[in-house]
Structure 1
Amino acid sequence: MAQSIEPNITELANGWLKSYKLNYKLEQEPLNAEIDKALDDYFSKSGGVGGNRPDAKLLLQDKHLNYYPILIEYKGYKDKLVKLDNNGQVENKTAKNEPHFKNINSFAVNGAVHYANALLHHTSYTDIIAIGMTGYKDESGKIQHEIGVYYVSKSNFGVGQKVGEFSDFSFLKKENFDAFVKQVEDLNLSQEEIDKLKEQREKEIDASLVKLNNDIYQNEKGLGENDRVYLVAAAIIATIGIPGKVSPLEKSDLKSSTEKGNTDGEIIVRKISAFLAEKDLPQEKKDLIIRTLSNTLLTGNINKVENGESQLKRVFTKIVDDLGIYYKIGLTTDFTGKLFNEMYSWLGFSQDKLNDVVLTPSYIATLLVKLARVNKDSYVWDFAAGSAGLLVAAMNEMLIDAKNSIHSPDELRQKELKIKAEQLLGLELLSSVYMLAILNMILMGDGSSNILNKDSIKDFDGKYGFGKTDNQFPATAFVLNPPYSASGNGMNFVETALNMMNKGYAAIIIQNSAGSGRAKDYNKRILEKHTLLASIKMPIDIFIGKSSVQTNIYVFKVGEKHEKDEIVRFIDFSNDGYTRTNRKKASNNLKDTDQAKERYEELVNLVRFGKNKLSIFTEKEYYENTIDPKNGADWNQTAPIDTKPTLQDFKKTVSDYLAWEVSNLLKGNDSLGK
């Protein structure tokens, strides 16, 4: 193998930096405390702990005084610039979602992107430039070099995007840097790319949560499941920080002291209080959060110091190391919901108890939101909010729509704030679950203001819970996954919510017996004022491992009585394209094995536009018919199977019979010959 010319490459590149009069630091030199510490804390390129040293690093400022850390890695072989995966992204993760140390070690760009992720994970910098450079000597002994420049940021979830083609580092020169930053700002990911990256990151979150939960479950004694959920929530809130107001809590801030007022728990509680003080939330909500989290954080056992470290500090460190990157990059995912489902999978709940707190998988939540036709101007509510997963999905949909249709940055910011503060409302009765819903919405950037701890059937009058408390919430979209033990399998929630609305749409996922007799009276009353548009039979295993009830989605138009000639769309969605498994240790229990994405899209179009949208599905799975509004138990219809024999059937039967006759004759001859 050719010898590495890394020293020559290093000399060439650092020579450029010197000639541009840039203040660069070599691998052993400190750059600033925050960056040095992050590089030191992050797992190293070979998989050990700490000690990441880029070959060169700088901190540059643009004309708006924003800082950009620049991390540079050199290699000395011909084809060691960058290793991409099949999607053309820097391949720093293996198929199992673990760090791909071989690539991170061998390729210049992959190494630099790895360092950049250390900064995303452990510092307040959200925009980092990762540069890889390699080269070789050609036949004449001349150095040929290649450069890869990647932008690693919150907006691309840390995966990195190629900025352009460069033959030297002069884009870093003072007079060229602003133009380069402009080039970086113009790198926009399409919605499709964003969705793909999000999906990839969500799978990683699932894998990280499983790993974290396993670890705490096996190695940290004395922590109940609620404690675990609250510890993750507390750690995350304490480390988010608020730019310019509340500095994020660092692992090193926890001293494992036994001094009164300075135990690790008390330090975390103070940080959470400071965070909440900056949030525009009702006082009683802030008090509730502090009270609930303090119950876990201030107990004696968790703060007891052994070998110089409290259990709390140990768990806090695990959480920040495993999950830090995901909320730093601002993933709008149902974070506590995933956590909650993961925790629940470890509990031996009785089946009934479990059915009542099964949280909706995020792709089903998104489906419900699309079926309820949510857009940036919708007002969305959920009467059994759980961990607020459906509201998080609605918020995502609204924010995407706003981003696509509002082109003034100022106006967009105003709209985003309005969506979070005024256009979502959730009710949850179980106080431990209610707490999760609040935390979830705080982590999502604060749609928690109107999450209410009330009985939606008995105590809710349809008004805002915060802000405009005298006004009715002007709901135009209703989404629901009710507790199935409720009256009529949960149709009582549907009747109550729809009757408080003047217009709009609703999509609910419910045990299908609700449509075939269990909720007859509710259904008849609902149809007196609202229209059933569609009934969708869902796969039996969407809640695999949690519950195995057959569910349907019912879609309604609000405020128009259901006439007897109204056409209802019945869709058999048993095959949604996903294969699900229920393996405790699996990093991904959901696989797209048959055009799942396309099927979900087609389903939404079929419900909205009818059968001219049929493409993957057949007439066997899509059936239109009427229902009797006075019946209430005929909501789960399927396409009739034609039993009348055709001429074709007759011919086949005759030919089968003749074949049988002939084979018997031949067998007969066989036995005669013996």
Structure 2
Amino acid sequence: MSQSVEPNIADLANGWLKNYKLPYKLEQESVNSEIDKALSDYYSKNGGVGGNRVDAKILLQDKNLNFYPILIEYKGYKNSLIKLDANHQVENKTAKNEPNLKNINSFAVNGAVHYANAVLHHTSYTDIIAIGMTGHKDEAGNIKHQIGVYFVSKNNFGVGQKVGEFSDFSFLAPKNFDAFIEKVKTLQLSQEEIDKLKEQREKEIDASLRKLNHDIYDNEKGLGENDRVYLVAASIIATLGIPGKVAPLEKTDFKSSIEIGNTDGDIIVRKIKAFLDAKEIPEEKKNLILRTLQNTLTTENINKIVEGESQLKRVFTKIVDDLGIYYKIGLTTDFTGKLFNEMYGWLGFSQDKLNDVVLTPSYVSNLLVKLARVNKDSYVWDFATGSAGLLVSAMNEMLNDAKNTITSPEELTQKEIKIKAEQLLGLELLSSVYMLAILNMILMGDGSSNILNKDSLLDFDGNYGFGKTNSKFPADAFILNPPYSANGNGMNFVEKALDMMNKGYAAIIIQNSAGSGRAKEYTKRILEKHTLLASIKMPVDIFIGKASVQTNIYVFKVNEKHHKEEMVKFIDFSSDGYTRTNRKKTSNNLKDTNQAKQRYEELVNLVRLGKSKLNIYTNKEYHEATIDPKNGADWNQSAPQDEKPTLQDFKKTVSDYLAWEVSTILKQQNIKDESVGK
């Protein structure tokens, strides 16, 4: 194999940097402590922790005074510039979603992008330039070089985008740098690319969460189920920070001291308190969160020092190392949805075969929100909120509607604050799940104000929980996935919520036996005051991991008695375009195999606008009919099948008959022939 010309490449490139009078630093030199720390904290190119030595690094500022870390990696062979995967992305992960150490080590751009991810993960910088350069000698002994320039940012999920073609580093020179950054800012990902990258990152999240769970479960003794959930919640809150107000908690802030008031538990509790104070979380709720988390964080066991380190510091480090990048790059709902589903699985009762508390998949949450006609001015509540997945979907729908319809930036800001603080309300009785709901809403930008730890059937009077505690919450949209073991399969929640509303719409997903007789006393009473608009039969495997439970979505118009001649829309949505699997090893249990997105859109239009919107579906799946308001067990109807035979049916029957007759004649002929042969 030819000899590496890396020293020559480094010499050539560093010469350019010196020529442009740039403040570059070589391998061992420091740019600043934040970047140094990030590189030493991140796993190295060899898979261990730390020891990431970048060949050259610079911190440059553009005309808007924004800083850009620039990380440069040199190699010395002809074909060692870059290794891309089938999607033309820098291939730094294996098929198993583990770091592809071979590529990171062997290719200049892959190494630089690896370093850039370290900075993205562990510093406040969100936009980084990764540069790889390699080369070889031609027959005449001249150095021929190649350069790859990639932009690594929270906006491209840390995967990186090619900036352009460059033959030297003059784009970094002070007179050219602003123009280069302008070019970087115009790099747009197509929706298809964004979806692909998100999918890629989601697979990684799944892998990271499972790894984290097994790691804590296998190696951290003495932690109960709730402790694990609270530790993840506490670690994420402590590392979020609030720009200009609360610095994120760093691993180095833990002193592993046994001094009273200064243990690692005390340090993290102080940070969480500072965060909640800065967020202006209401006093009562703040105290509840602190009390709950403190019970886990200040126990003697978790703060005991073994080999110079507490268990708390060790677990905090694992959580930040495994998950930090995902809330840093802002995968928002996708990330929190997965995080909460995984953590929910850690709680013992979720493994219980009898347990009926199931978290709603995000695409079903989004459907319920649309069926309940949620918009920026809605007041939405959920009487069995779980980890707040439905309310997060509602909040996103409201914020998007606000962005699309309000043109004044100042007015938009005020509206966003109002949506989060005043237009969402959720009730959850189980305290460990309630903590997930609060954390979810805080992570999502904090609509946690009115998430209440109450029994919605016994203790809730319809008032705001915080802020306007003497005022009724003016709910006009109700979304729900109730525990099915509750009375009437959960229809008791539906009756209570609808009766507390003056107007609006409701969409609930519930075991379909509720509409075919199991909940008659509730369904009949509901129809005395409210209208059933639609009954939608959902796929039987929508709640993966639970026994096949047939669910339906029922959509109501609130506070309008059901007229016996009212047409109800019955829709068979059991083929929704998704294929689901429940394999532990698979990276994606949900695949759009038959126009799923379009089918969900069509369903919303059918419920709202009727059969004129039939496109993918037909009259076999869509059917309008009346129900008897005094019956209460006729909510699950299907389209009548046309029994009249067609000409095609007739032809098939005749041909089947003729085929049978011919085969019978032939058999008889064979028997005759055989008997003659004897």
TM-score, structure 1 length as denominator? Answer: 0.92
The residue correspondences of 1:287-326 to structure 2 (distance < 5 A) are: 287-326=287-326
Q: How many angstroms does 1:431 deviate by?
A: 2.1
Unaligned ranges ≥5, structure 1: none
1:104 aligns with 2:114: no
- 3-state SS, counterpart of residue 54 of structure 2: coil
In the TM superposition, what are the counterparts of 1:393-542 in structure 2 within 5 Å?
393-406=393-406, 409-542=409-542
Task: Output the amino acid matched with 1:621.
Answer: E
Displacement of 1:210: 1.4
Q: How many residues align?
A: 674
Partner residue, 1:40 = 40
Task: Determine if contact 1:154/1:329 at 8 Å carries over to the other structure.
Answer: yes
Give me the whole-angstrom Cα distance separating, in 1, the residues matched to 2:147 and 2:652: 69
Name the counterpart of 1:155: 155
Measure the CA separation in 1 of the matches of 2:509 and 2:21: 63
Deviation (angstroms), 1:276: 1.6
In 1, Cα distance between equivalents of 2:234 and 2:39: 25
Q: Which amino acid counterpart does residue 515 of structure 2 have in structure 1? A: G
Paired with 2:71 and 2:10, the residues of 1 have a C-alpha distance of 13
Matches within 5 A, 1:647-666: 647-666=647-666
Seen in structure 2, the aligned counterparts of structure 1 residues 77 and 607 have a Cα distance that, compared at 3 Å, is: farther
2:21 counterpart residue number: 21
Question: How far apart are the structure 2 equivalents of 1:612 and 1:91?
Answer: 47
The alpha-carbon distance between structure 1 residues 97 and 418, as it changes in their structure 2 partners (threshold 3 A), is farther
Deviations 1:513-562, CA, capped at 9 Å, x for gaps: 11112223333333344332322211222222234321111222334443
Secondary structure in 1 aligned to 2:229? helix
Distance in 2 of aligned mates of 1:146 and 1:612: 59
Partners of 1:255 and 1:455 lie apart in 2 by 41
Q: Kindly provide the amino acid, as one letter, of the partner of residue 649 in structure 2.
A: D
Counterpart AA for 1:75 = K
What are the equivalent positions in structure 2 for 1:348-367 lying under 5 Å apart?
A: 349=349, 355-367=355-367
Question: Residue 622 and residue 78 in structure 1: after superposition, are their counterparts in 2 closer, same or farther (change >3 A)?
Answer: farther
Alpha-carbon distance in structure 1 between the residues aligned to 2:184 and 2:552: 46
CA contact (8 A) 2:350 2:357 kept: no
480 and 153 in structure 1: CA distance in 2 versus 1, 3 angstrom threshold: same
Aligned-partner residue type, residue 331 of structure 2: L
Aligned equivalents of 1:628, 1:471: Cα separation in 2: 37
Spell out, residue by residue over 1:403-432, the C-alpha distance to the aligned partner (whole angstroms, 9 max, x if none).
Answer: 444555555444333332222221112222
Deviates more, 1:28-37 or 1:661-670: 661-670
Task: Give the match's secondary structure for 1:124.
Answer: coil
Instruction: Assess, with a 3 A threshold, how the Cα gap between structure 1 residues 418 and 122 changes in structure 2: closer, same or farther.
Output: same
Change (3 A) 1:414 1:19: farther
Q: For 1:215, give the aligned amino acid.
A: D
1:492–1:69 distance in 2 versus 1, CA, 3 Å: same
AA partner of residue 633 (structure 1): A
Give % identity: 82
Letter in 2 for 1:627: I
Q: Residue type of the partner of 1:21?
A: K
Kept in 2, the 8 Å contact 1:336–1:436? The answer is no
1:360 is paired with a residue whose SS is coil
Distance 1:17 1:402, change over 3 A: farther
By how many angstroms is 1:632 displaced?
Answer: 2.2
**What secondary structure is seen at the aligned counterpart in 2 of 1:34?**
helix
Question: Which amino acid letter does the alignment assign opposite residue 467 of structure 1?
Answer: G
Matches of 1:59 and 1:95 in 2, distance apart? 34
CA distance in 2, matches of 1:196, 1:476: 36
More deviation in 8-17 or 263-272?
8-17
Amino acid at match of 1:320: V
Distance 2:392 2:247 in 1: 26
**TM-fit CA distance, 1:229:** 0.3
Give distance in 1, aligned partners of 2:531 and 2:197: 38
Q: Distance in 2 between matches of 1:46 and 1:622?
A: 58
Structure 1 residues 5 and 412, CA gap change in structure 2 (3 angstroms): farther
> Structure 2: how far apart are the matches of 1:178 and 1:530?
62
Judged with a 3 Å threshold, the aligned counterparts in structure 2 of structure 1 residues 331 and 563 are, in CA distance, closer, same or farther, namely same
Q: Does 1:544 align with 2:533?
A: no
SS of the counterpart of 1:333? helix
In the TM superposition, residue 319 of structure 1 has moved relative to its aligned partner by 1.0
Residues 618-664 of structure 1 deviation map (CA, whole Å, 9 limit, x = unaligned): 43223333323333222211122233333433332232222223223
> Does structure 1 residue 54 correspond to structure 2 residue 40?
no
| Conservation of the 8 A alpha-carbon contact between 1:334 and 1:440 | no
Q: Following the alignment from structure 2 to structure 1, what is the Cα–Cα distance between the partners of residues 30 and 368?
A: 51
Distance 1:547 1:237 in 2: 35
Q: Which amino acid aligns with 1:635?
A: W
CA distance in 1 between partners of 2:406 and 2:78 (Å): 47
SS at match of 2:332: coil
Q: Give the partner amino acid of 2:90.
A: V
Match of 1:255 in 2: 255
Cα distance in 1 for partners of 2:407, 2:103 equals: 40
SS in 1 for 2:155: coil
Amino acid at match of 2:12: L
**Aligned mates of 1:493, 1:376 — CA distance in 2:** 25
Q: Describe the shift of the 1:351–1:148 C-alpha distance in structure 2 as closer, same or farther (beyond 3 A).
A: closer
Matches within 5 A, 1:623-638: 623-638=623-638
CA distance in 2, matches of 1:163, 1:421: 41
More divergent stretch after superposition (280-289 vs 65-74): 65-74
Cα contact 2:420–2:447 (8 A) shared by 1: yes
The residue type paired with residue 459 of structure 1 is D
Distance in 2 of aligned mates of 1:166 and 1:504: 59
Measure the CA separation in 2 of the matches of 1:284 and 1:112: 48
Distance 1:87 1:410 in 2: 41
**Cα separation, partners in 2 of 1:273 and 1:354, compared to 1, 3 Å:** farther
Q: Which residue of 2 aligns with 1:622?
A: 622
- Which SS does the other structure have where 1:152 is aligned? strand
Q: Which amino acid aligns with 2:201?
A: R
- Does structure 1 conserve the Cα–Cα contact (< 8 Å) formed by 2:505 and 2:556? yes
Partner of residue 175, structure 1:
175
State which drifts further: 280-289 or 613-622. 613-622
Match of 1:285 in 2: 285
Distance verdict in 2 for CA 1:36–1:426, change over 3 Å: same
- Is the contact made by 1:380 and 1:425 (CA closer than 8 Å) also made in structure 2? yes
- The alignment status of 1:377 with 2:377, answered yes or no, reads yes
Segment of structure 1 superposing worse, 538-547 or 3-12: 3-12
Aligned partner of residue 247 in structure 1, secondary structure: coil
Supply the distance in 2 between the matched residues of 1:37 and 1:198 (Cα, whole angstroms).
Answer: 28
Shift in CA distance, 334/650, structure 1 to aligned 2, threshold 3 Å:
closer
CA distance in 1, matches of 2:401, 2:184: 24
Distance 2:77 2:623 in 1: 62
Q: Which position in structure 1 is the counterpart of 2:210?
A: 210
Instruction: Give the Cα–Cα distance (whole angstroms) in 2 for the partners of residues 400 and 192 of structure 1.
Output: 20
| Kept in 2: contact 1:330–1:444 (CA 8 A) | no
Q: Measured at CA, do residues 217 and 352 of structure 1 come closer, stay the same or move farther in structure 2, by a change above 3 Å? A: closer
Name the amino acid aligned to 1:278: A
1:502–1:7 distance in 2 versus 1, CA, 3 Å: farther
Q: Is the 8 A contact 1:46 1:101 kept in 2?
A: yes
For 2:470 and 2:144, the matched residues in 1 are separated by 72
Inter-partner Cα distance in structure 1 for 2:187 and 2:415 = 24
> Could you tell which deviates more after superposition, 447-456 or 78-87?
78-87
Aligned to 1:567: 567
Give the Cα separation in 1 of the matches to 2:93 and 2:616. Answer: 33
Moved more, 322-331 or 125-134: 125-134
Higher mean Cα deviation, 288-297 or 352-361? 352-361
User: In 1, distance between residues paired with 2:328 and 2:273?
Assistant: 20
- Provide the rounded CA distance (Å) in 2 between the counterparts of 1:351 and 1:117: 36
